[in-house]
Amino acid sequence: MQRKKLFIPGPVEVSPEILQAMATPMIGHRGLEYSALHGAVKPKLKKLLYTENPVFLSTSSATGVMEGAVRNLCAKRVLSCTCGAFSERWHEIALANGKEADPLSVEWGRAIKPEMVEERLATGRYDCLTLVHNETSTGVMSPLAAIAEVVRRYPEVMFVVDTVSSLAAVKIEVDRLGIDVCLAGVQKAFGLPPGLAVCSVSKRALERAATVKNRGYYFDFIEFKEYDDKNQTPCTPAISQIFALNTQLERMFKEGLEARFERHLAMAKRCRAWASAHFGLFPESGYESVTLTAVSNTRNVDMKHVEAELAKRGKEISNGYGKLKNKTFRIAHMADCAPAELEGLLRELDEIVG
């Protein structure tokens, strides 16, 4: 297998130190060693999420917790903010679980705006709102803080946010923003191999969950909480991933969270400048993602050719997602990606597309 450095928006490149942590000898999940590990990870996650809420470890991909969140928190009706593939998926998940749900949709490439949310919440029909902060399919980052301000005015509404491709790259102050559930998979900006998701759950969200029927079994937040209090998980967790997460959180604090957020922003600015000079940016101006750049393929370059040429150089970027295939392509710059590595990629893209 030819080794390719990943510049795709998940899974991302994983550092050797993390792969090494994954190889830690196995331990039992009901023993003291596991509880010590779980107990060590918890305060670190709280620090990263700027929260006093418990942050649960879910052995699943992020989609599992997206499903869990609507199952646990919606008793009445979900407002699904949709602006791309992952947010549309969340709406489908709500319907698939028998929840009443309406989409608040904008065209792919555009962001969800606070006034749109206000207009819909004012109807009083909803008790749960789902928002994807960083739509990885379109490279759009919706204005989380401004939307949070609106949602806070509706105390009945649970504010459930997918930060799968932004958490650990962008400052997300869960408590200050009043986010009831903040969820992410670890294979994006955390820079870990896939297989684990994390989610913070507020006190009022747990109170809501306690009143909701048919929360399901595997993603029952009440069960998550009971076990988390004992530094355990209801079922066997992905212990190797949790060893790696513990190491990675240490590495994040060593870099410094502010420095980490700045590094991501600097890479985003650099990549946007490159994209604007050679092509165009796909997202609505002012709402470009910090962790990936969605480039409009304005010159109609042959993506197969680009991918093959990059593969020869041992690198990989992403074509556009779904209906955006060939019309856009995506360059991810997140997790442990260094500015110099992005520079190297852009130089090679210069050679390939001129």
Ligand X SMILES: *Cc1c(COP(=O)(O)O)cnc(C)c1O
Least Cβ distance, residue 340 to ligand X (angstroms): 25
> By C-beta, is 57 or 301 nearer to ligand X?
57
Residue 31, SS3 per DSSP: coil
Least Cβ distance, residue 64 to ligand X (angstroms): 7
> By C-beta, is 189 or 301 nearer to ligand X?
189
Q: Burial of 351 by CB count in 10 Å (0-12 exposed, 13-18 middle, 19+ buried)?
A: exposed
> By C-beta, is 29 or 188 nearer to ligand X?
188
CA-nearest of 7, 2, 1, 3 to 348 is 7
**228, containing H or E segment:** helix 221-228
Q: Which residues contact ligand X (rule: CB under 6 A)?
A: 10, 61-63, 86, 132, 134, 136, 162, 164-165, 185, 188
Least Cβ distance, residue 133 to ligand X (angstroms): 8
> By C-beta, is 195 or 234 nearer to ligand X?
195
> By C-beta, is 196 or 206 nearer to ligand X?
196
> By C-beta, is 94 or 301 nearer to ligand X?
94
> By C-beta, is 332 or 345 nearer to ligand X?
332
Residue 43, SS3 per DSSP: helix
Strands in the chain per DSSP E: 5-6, 55-58, 78-82, 101-105, 128-132, 134-135, 140-141, 158-162, 181-185, 197-201, 280-281, 292-296, 315-316, 318-319, 328-332
- Is there a contact between 86 and 137 (Cβ–Cβ < 8 Å)? yes
Q: Which residues contact 58 (CB under 8 A, 6 or more apart)?
A: 64, 65, 68, 196, 197, 198, 199, 219, 224
CA angle 103, 109, 115 (to 5 degrees): 55
Least Cβ distance, residue 55 to ligand X (angstroms): 17
Q: d(Cα 162, Cα 160) in Å, to the nearest integer?
A: 7
